[in-house]
Amino acid sequence: MPLSEEFLTELRYRNSIETIVSSYVNLHRRGNMITGLCPFHNEKTPSFTLYPENNSFYCFGCGVGGDVITFIRDIENLDYMEAVRLLSDRSGLPMPDDGFDDGARRLRQTLLEINRETARFFHNELKTQRGRKAYEYLKDRRLTDDTIRHFGLGYSPDSFDALLNHLKSKGFREPDIVLANVVANGKTGKPYDRFHNRIMFPIIDLRGNVIAFGGRIMPGLEGAKYINTADTPIYKKSRNIYALNVAKNTKENNLILAEGYMDVISLHQAGFTNAVASLGTAFTQEQALLLGRYCKEIVVTLDADEAGQKATEKAIRVLSGSNMRVRVLRIDGGKDPDEYIREFGPDRFRALLEGAGNEIEYKLFTLRQKYDLTADSGKMLYLNEAAILLSELPVAIARDIYSGKLAKELEVSKEAILKQTEQTRQRKTKAEYNKRLKEFTAPKIKQDAITPEKREHPRAACAEEAILCLLMNFPDLKKEMNGRVQPEDFMTGFHRKVFETVEKQLENGVFDLTLISGEFSTQEMGRIVAIQNKTVAKANAINELADCIRILKDEKENSIIGKASEMETDQWAEALQKLRRQKGSSS
């Protein structure tokens, strides 16, 4: 059964959009406008807007929007019922016990229980005789028992069914165990433990749930160094950060982005409790947005090998679009943070951390390594690339400062560097202008996944949006409709569905986003909010509605005429006659 209208209305009343969003986003109020930096895409100028009057939000930058339930679904990566439950728990509103389908929540809870029991099994194995070598390895890495316990480290035994048998003995079903990805089905269909003879690192989300695992191969053995949990219903590696559940509580004013589990654990043990890692995957925009909720500065300290340098460059590219400051820590000698701390101690590492340069300094350093600066040809090649890099800096003062540093370092004229930098900027500006001009003079109608018909019927789609906007904002206009528009008049399937939903709601005289949130995807809710919050004037509402109905009927008629060759003559004539009768009655 669906949730009752009374429950959803009370849920919305207890969870205002401003109160909920403000716990994730730093909001600014200007008159009736409430804005902030969007938590769903990287931006430096706020385009994320709240509408308290209808308890909705919308981002003009990325198009994400919806009601308070949609916001929680997107920000917490939850399904509809999980988001409702989170809001009900937060506001002290009991969930109704009316037999609604809560299967997704029960499955999620089962998978979390499987992972929790798996983590307990691995940790206990570390204390057994067969886990002795794994324990000794961790001790050789100078990890204390407290650290091992704090991060829940463990050992997966050299067996293909030890974990499977253990979980089954605890009452878990085999299909659920496989879905949790701690057990996999072999080619013959026989299940086997996915991790065996590995040191295990549980991955814990922000609420303290074990959601996945990483397994490191034992020293001296052949095979993949790390095996990680694949994406499951409770885990998406591109949206999670290792150890953020601990680092979010740090007293430091920044976060350290390291490369692997051991780097993070060693850093925490050494007192750097603000260290996190990106879970063995290329750093993603979703991860950058997640980190941005907890800090204003990121210090990137990935490994110094070639792979680590490429990962650093990728992380810088992703982070440069955010509103966080970025610094890069370089460790000489090709050492990673774990090795450096073990050899030189925490104080030396802290000194390195405090001296970490910003992203421009790191990029200049990386460029410098490519050329022989003792030769004039090497200097010229380096300065050419450096000028391109400096031309990307938006602030003139920054370009001046770095040009001065380069001039002093290479004993060349600062004015010459600035001149070349400015010439590069002008070429880029002209190229970008020409590109925008071409797009403006020859616009392309982009394919719209939500309303694909809009490409073929743009005029009708715009009229449909206007009709929906008017009905959502002025429910009394339903009387003016008086059957003049039917769902079949709409030429886009999505708008037709929204129209039917709005009409049904207006039978009670009001339109409430929260009451329809469960019927649409989060992407569709964003589109509905965009339509609802378009600027409309009540004084012209009746005339505008009439104009839109006329346009919609005209477009429908043109569409039917255009399909003459595809329809039987009698069928075509009947459809056209019916539409013209409707047009006559609506004029």
DSSP string, 268-323: HHTT-TTEEE-TTS---HHHHHHHHTT-SEEEE---SSHHHHHHHHHHHHHHHTSS
Query: Per the structure, how many domains does the chain have?
Result: 5
* 446 within a domain of the structure (yes/no): no
Bridge partners (DSSP) listed for residue 216: 199, 226
User: DSSP alpha helices (H): ranges in 369-457?
Assistant: 376-391, 396-410, 414-441
Check which CATH number belongs to the domain holding 138 and give it.
3.90.980.10
Amino acid at 121: F
Q: Is 507 exposed, middle or buried (0-12, 13-18, 19+ CB in 10 A)?
A: exposed
Q: Are 524 and 450 in contact (CB under 8 A)?
A: yes
Q: Are 244 and 206 in contact (CB under 8 A)?
A: yes
Verify that 381 and 342 share a domain, yes or no.
no
For tokens 């500065």, the residue is 297
Structure tokens at 166: 């253990």
* 447 within a domain of the structure (yes/no): no
In 114-156, at which residue ranges do the beta strands (DSSP E only) sit? 154-156
DSSP-derived pairing of the beta strands 297-300 and 325-328:
parallel
Amino acid at 525: M
* 304 within a domain of the structure (yes/no): yes
Domain boundary (235, 253, 275) is at 235
Domain boundary (401, 421, 441) is at 441
Q: Tell me, rounded to whole angstroms, the distance of Cα 270 from its chain centroid.
A: 31
Check which CATH number belongs to the domain holding 521 and give it.
1.10.860.10
Verify that 166 and 77 share a domain, yes or no.
no
Domain boundary (364, 394, 421) is at 364
Q: Tell me, rounded to whole angstroms, the distance of Cα 243 from its chain centroid.
A: 18
Measured from the Cβ of residue 193, the count of other Cβ atoms closer than 10 Å reads 23
In 154-294, at which residue ranges do the beta strands (DSSP E only) sit? 154-156, 183-185, 191-193, 198-204, 210-217, 226-228, 255-258, 275-277
Q: Residue 33: helix, strand or coil by DSSP?
A: strand
Verify that 168 and 260 share a domain, yes or no.
no
Measured from the Cβ of residue 548, the count of other Cβ atoms closer than 10 Å reads 21
DSSP-derived pairing of the beta strands 357-358 and 325-328:
antiparallel
Number of H helices, E strands in the chain: 26, 16
Verify that 582 and 457 share a domain, yes or no.
yes
For the chain, residues with pLDDT lower than 50 are 99, 443, 564-565, 567, 572, 576, 579
* 258 within a domain of the structure (yes/no): yes
* Tens-digit pLDDT profile for residues 140-188: 999 999 999 999 999 999 999 999 999 999 999 999 999 999 999 988 8
Verify that 401 and 493 share a domain, yes or no.
no
- Work out the angle at residue 222's Cα, subtended by the Cα atoms of residues 220 and 224, and round it to the nearest 5 degrees: 120
Verify that 266 and 352 share a domain, yes or no.
yes
Q: Are 253 and 295 in contact (CB under 8 A)?
A: yes
CA distance 144 to 119: 19
* 348 within a domain of the structure (yes/no): yes
Verify that 82 and 148 share a domain, yes or no.
no
Verify that 158 and 265 share a domain, yes or no.
no
Determine the straight-line distance between the first and last CA of the chain, rounded to whole angstroms.
42
For tokens 């959601």, the residue is 211
Amino acid at 70: T
Verify that 336 and 380 share a domain, yes or no.
no
Verify that 456 and 578 share a domain, yes or no.
yes
What is the extent of the structural domain holding 248? 244-364
Cβ neighbors of 267 (< 8 A, separation 6 or more) are 256, 258, 275, 337, 338, 341
Q: Are 115 and 211 in contact (CB under 8 A)?
A: yes
CA distance 187 to 197: 21
Structure tokens at 190: 């026989």
* 97 within a domain of the structure (yes/no): no
Verify that 539 and 471 share a domain, yes or no.
yes
* 325 within a domain of the structure (yes/no): yes
Measured from the Cβ of residue 2, the count of other Cβ atoms closer than 10 Å reads 12
Check which CATH number belongs to the domain holding 34 and give it.
3.90.580.10
